[in-house]
Amino acid sequence: MTTIKDIAKKANVSTGTVDRVIHNRPGVSEKTKAHVQKIIKEHNFQINTIASTLALNKSYKIGVLIPEARAENEFWSEPKKGIETAIEEIKNFKISATFFKFNQFDSNSYQDAFLNLIKGNFEAVLIAPVFHKETAKFIKQLDKKQTPYVFINTEIKGFNALSFIGQDSYKSGYLAAKLMSVMMTDNAQILIPVFRLNKGNYSSINNRITGFKAFFKEKYTSVKIKDLVIPNFKNLEVINNTLNEALKNDIVDGIFVPSSSSFLIAECLENSQLNHIRLVGYDTNKKNIEFLKNDTIDFLICQNPYNQGYKGIKLLSDYLVMNKTPKPIYPSPMTIVTKENVDSI
């Protein structure tokens, strides 16, 4: 292995000078700089990150702003696990993470958490920007401090994020439609129940619906798709009544749930013994998997949330430690989950 010492000897300079050249530090004449650079190239020298981190003796603190995982929706426990695994892997580089949690249905708690995050003065930041407007409001302060930030899960545009890691919601809706289509026959009827969620999630759920409808408009015009607004998603009875009312009027062959709450619909279908209705939804939370396994849900599309967290941290660590600039977008795979492969995902 070529070391700085070797390069110094070949170039007839000291290791200090080589170090200055490598890191583009001032105080080197153009002449020797060029000379050293030439020799570095000739020997294909690359710095030993191990020795470098040891010598630097620096520590990096990463701030993480993601929703808290709730009992009824464990989605956000997955990114958290991914983040923790990544941190565990790189803790030798003196990288640590501090979590700032918020309620994903309450924009105020998002703002509070964001402010605390900013106060923390982190070297880098990982954000699930669930709320668009509120993000716009505070993100400037990170820009000002030149703090690099990465977005996961929710894609919002027009910011200086280092990277976005997540799915294209439109495409994932389109995929959901494909899966639904293989189970449908001509003139089938499909229902899309939408819970009244807050605006934050609205955009990606909307995109999924748009993608879903686009597929059928392109390929199977005989299939009819109806929307169904469910006023309250906390109360199973309300869901049950609203759904049954809708199912009374029409013969429904398939239901597409554009959120991670398909288990709520599944439960209603089971109660009304309507399990023959095909069900496609999102995310592999515990309850969804339960209904997937007993054949009430047919397909789930998984966003690989664990990996979003893991990758986000790895990306930032590479950026901080190795100075590697990441790609602007890392699309999360749209993983199709069925009863038969759920255990291997």
Partner DNA sequence: AACAAGTTTGTGAGCGTACACGCAAAATTG
Partner DNA sequence: CAATTTTGCGTGTACGCTCACAAACTTGTT
User: For the sheet containing 189-195, what is the strand order?
Assistant: 224-230, 189-195, 254-256, 278-282, 299-302, 335-337
Amino acid at 104: Q
The radius of gyration of the chain from alpha carbons, rounded to an integer in Å, stands at 25
Per-residue binding letters, 212-241, with a second copy (x by CB under 8 A): ---x--------------------------
Structure-block tokens of residue 89: 């892997």
- Written as six digits, the tokens of 220 are 């199977």
22 binds, among a second copy, DNA, none (CB under 5 to 8 A by kind): DNA
Binding-site partner at residue 334 among DNA, a second copy, none, CB < 5 to 8 Å by type: a second copy
Task: Say which entry of a second copy, DNA, none residue 20 contacts (CB below 5 to 8 A, set by partner kind).
Answer: DNA
Asked if residue 90 lies in contact with residue 316, where contact means CB atoms within 8 angstroms, the answer is: no
Q: Is 199 in the site for DNA (CB under 7 A)?
A: no
For residue 2 the two structure tokens come to 């070529």
Least gap, CB of 162 to DNA (angstroms): 22
The phi and psi torsions of 189 (rounded to 5 degrees) equal: -120, 130
Which C-beta is closer to DNA: that of 48 or that of 335? 48
- Closest contact distance (angstroms) between CB of 328 and DNA is 27
Report if residue 61 touches a second copy, rule: CB under 8 A: no
Question: From the centroid of its chain, how far is CA 158?
Answer: 17
Give the nearest distance from C-beta 52 to DNA in angstroms. 3
In this structure, the strands spanning 254-256 and 335-337 are unpaired
Contact string (CB under 8 A) for a second copy, positions 235-274, x = contact? ----------------------------------------
Q: From the list a second copy, DNA, none, which binds 15 (C-beta under 5 to 8 Å, kind-based)?
A: DNA
- State yes or no: residue 37 binds DNA (CB under 7 A): no
Residue 12 vs 96, nearer CB to a second copy:
96
Q: Which does 32 bind (CB under 5 to 8 A by kind): a second copy, DNA, none?
A: DNA
**Long-range contacts of the stretch 128-131 (C-beta < 8 A, 24+):** 128/65, 128/66, 128/67, 128/76, 128/79, 128/152, 128/153, 128/154, 129/154, 129/156, 129/159, 130/67, 130/102, 130/104, 130/154, 130/200, 130/201, 131/107, 131/199, 131/200
- Token digits for 244? 């049954």
Q: Which residues are at the interface with a second copy (CB under 8 A)?
A: 1, 48-51, 53-54, 92-94, 167-168, 171, 174-175, 178-179, 182-183, 215, 298, 331-336, 338-341, 344-345
Q: Which residues are at the interface with DNA (CB under 7 A)?
A: 1, 3-5, 12-17, 19-20, 22-23, 26-33, 47-48, 51-52, 54-57
